[in-house]
A and B are shown apart, each in its own frame.
Chain A
Amino acid sequence: MMVGVIARNTFREATRDRVLAGVVIAGVVLIVSTQALGPLALGEGTRLTVDLGLSAISLLGLLIVLLVGTSLVAKEIERRTIYNLLSRPIGRPAYLIGKWLGLTSALWVVAAALGLALWTVLAVSGHAGQALVVLEAAYLASLELAVITALAVLFSALSTPVLSALYTLGAYCVGQWSWDLREFAHQFPAPLGAVLGAASNLVPNLPLFNMRALAAHGESASPAHLVIATAYAAVYCGSLLALAAAAFESRDFK
């Protein structure tokens, strides 16, 4: 119940933030304006719209996490608003999970809004049949945003707003290179190669949530892909939030 109260309040905080509204508007404008580029794309206008639209969901979502998510906990500590929460009968893990759930919900609303805008633009240009593909890609992008938000909550619980934004961005970059890291690992001899291989499994495997290449060609993701991605997002988020809870438990609020 406490998780729900915190989540609802965090959702309210995120949606009342002008950043979110600005980002959604920017995203819709971007998606609609891809239609203007269609004539220049020599027949590849649909691919362009799908690619840029899905990239917008992912990158604008990342922007929201960096601007809003990284100060979720850190700013509360800095501004001391956290005193009024943690002096009540709410456990610290419940507080962190509520924060994560609230912002993730807001991000999923953003992803749904932009996904709907994308599908509308495609439907208007005669490609309504891409609905399932766009839905799958937007779903995977939403899972990616949930993982990035969990990273932001972890860093925000440990550090200042600015540093936690930098750490989150760093983890995002490393995560996008995780599969390349795995390939690099094969080129090195045993001890280093094993370490790199292990590291590639430990960092967030964000390419797992990337089906933009498939979606741009109108191809669907396999059921196995969707199941593995969902399971991975769930356990990885759980692990990050548990780590955040462990670190947060011993934190003093002077």
Chain B
Amino acid sequence: MQAITGDREDRSVPDRAPAEACAIRTVGLTKSYRHPWTGKVVSGLEALDLEVSRGEVMGYLGPNGAGKTTTLKLLTGLLKPTRGEAWVMGESIARVESRRRLGFLPEQPYFYEYLNGIELLELTGRLSGLTAQDAHGRARRWLGRVGLGARPQLVLRKYSKGMLQRLGLAAALLHEPELLILDEPMSGLDPFGRRDVRDLILEQRERGTTVLFSSHILPDVETLCDRVAIVLNGRLSRVATVGELVSGSRQRVEIRCTGVPRGEIAPDLRHVLERRDHAHETVFLLDDDSRLNHVIGLLIHAGALVRAVTPQRASLEDLFLAAAGAAADRTEARDEQRRSA
């Protein structure tokens, strides 16, 4: 799978509908907003080139306002692109048919308060092309599947936020879509709820459903996703597997000791070793694990008792923040270049 960065300038993408291997494909997808009075243009998404293969689970990360929800709404027809094209399950997003094999869970789903759970799922099922009978049968099944089957006649006005989230998932999955697009599916859920959603996503992956979901809860993304796309300031920053993102970094090691004498760290280790003194122990954080043996040797020689050595794998959050910092640096450098040109 080829990693695509936002920096790539030449784009030799043919201007035609993509092969069936792609569940989602975007070419230069852009969304900008023009203020009606001032005429000022604000960019929501800039030239997105992204491919999501069939059957894969892709995480879509970015800080608030980065363009995640904009992307998902463009793909589901709620926003009209300013430029560029996209295809969902082989159909252009400009066509209504592109949404036939798609299931979408918006962020903080809102439903008709006057309906009960069964009625809402029947409605969404019918709108997704199911027959009345089919919709009714599946509505009952899915209501139970997401843990809301005990009170099917309860009106949505009385649902909690978590219940609405679960109902939204059921509405997205009812018609057995081939592609699931989820915007913050874990939001509003307690740990049990998040576990259930994780299980659902895994179950869908087993079925061969393609899943694209945005999330702030990075541990979930790490455990669920095949690949992760990071979007910053409306531009795609990086796409890679979680393993690629994490394994490429150096590993940190935590060393817990007691009886460490006071003193300064050797000059050659100062840039990789950090010391933290606590009441009953001293903790050393070593950035470069290749120098672990050397450091342990020094500590033992100094009379310290080494209690524990724990590798600290760089988390996706760290990489995400690093990528965000790097992207900001790149943007600043580019702007600087433009100004001096």
Contacts and interface: CB of A to CB of B under 8 A. Distances in A.
Contact flag (A, B; Cβ within 8 A): yes
A86 B77 contact: yes
A222 interface: no
A86 B126 contact: no
B295 interface: no
Interface string A1-20: 01001100100110011000
A34 B228 CA distance: 72
B131 to A, nearest CB: 10
B124 A89 contact: no
A87 B78 contact: yes
B114 A16 contact: yes
A83 B80 contact: no
Interface string B17-41: 0000000000000000000000000
Contact of B110 (A5, A83, A250): A83
Interface in B123-148: 123-124, 126-129
B99 A254 contact: no
A5 B120 CA distance: 12
B109 interface: yes
B109 A83 contact: yes
Contacts of B127: 2, 5-6, 85, 88-90
Given A13-B114, A81-B110, A5 B80 contact: no
Interface in A1-52: 2, 5-6, 9, 12-13, 16-17
B76 A87 contact: yes
A90 B96 contact: yes
Given A9-B123, A253-B79, A87 B106 contact: yes
B106 A83 contact: yes
Nearest to B123: A9
Interface string A233-254: 0000000000000000010111
A157 to B, nearest CB: 15
A187 interface: no
B94 to A, nearest CB: 11
Contacts of A12: 114-115, 119
Contacts of A83: 78, 104, 106, 109-110
Contacts of B76: 87
Q: Most chain-B Cβ atoms within 10 A of its Cβ — which of A6, A17, A84, A91?
A: A84
Contact of A88 (B112, B124, B168): B124
B171 interface: yes
Contacts of A84: 104, 106, 109-111, 124, 168, 171
Interface residues of A, number: 24
B256 interface: no
Contacts of A254: 73, 79
A83 B111 CA distance: 9
B102 interface: yes
B220 interface: no
A6 B119 CA distance: 13
Contact of A87 (B77, B80, B97, B115): B77
A81 B104 CA distance: 13
Q: Number of contact residues on B: which range applies? A: 20 to 34
A226 B279 CA distance: 95
Contacts of A13: 112, 114
A73 to B, nearest CB: 13
A254 B124 CA distance: 21
A80 B164 CA distance: 13
Nearest to A13: B114
A16 B79 CA distance: 31
Interface in B88-111: 96-97, 99-100, 102, 104, 106, 108-111
A199 B203 CA distance: 62
Contact of A89 (B99, B108, B110, B123): B99
A80 B97 CA distance: 22
A2 B106 CA distance: 21
A16 B106 CA distance: 26
A89 B93 CA distance: 11
Interface in A50-98: 79-81, 83-91
A41 to B, nearest CB: 42
Nearest to A6: B127
Contacts of A5: 123, 126-127
A106 to B, nearest CB: 13
Contacts of B77: 86-87
A9 B129 CA distance: 15
Contacts of B100: 89
Nearest to B75: A87
Given A12-B119, A81-B111, 15 more contacts: A5-B126, A6-B127, A80-B106, A84-B106, A84-B109, A84-B110, A84-B124, A87-B102, A87-B106, A88-B128, A89-B128, A90-B96, A91-B96, A252-B80, A253-B78
14 contacts: A5-B123, A12-B115, A17-B114, A80-B106, A80-B108, A81-B111, A84-B106, A86-B77, A87-B99, A88-B128, A89-B129, A91-B96, A250-B80, A252-B78
Sort A-B residue pairs by CB-CB distance and give the 10 closest, nearest first: A87-B76, A87-B104, A89-B100, A83-B106, A80-B110, A88-B127, A253-B78, A5-B126, A89-B99, A81-B110
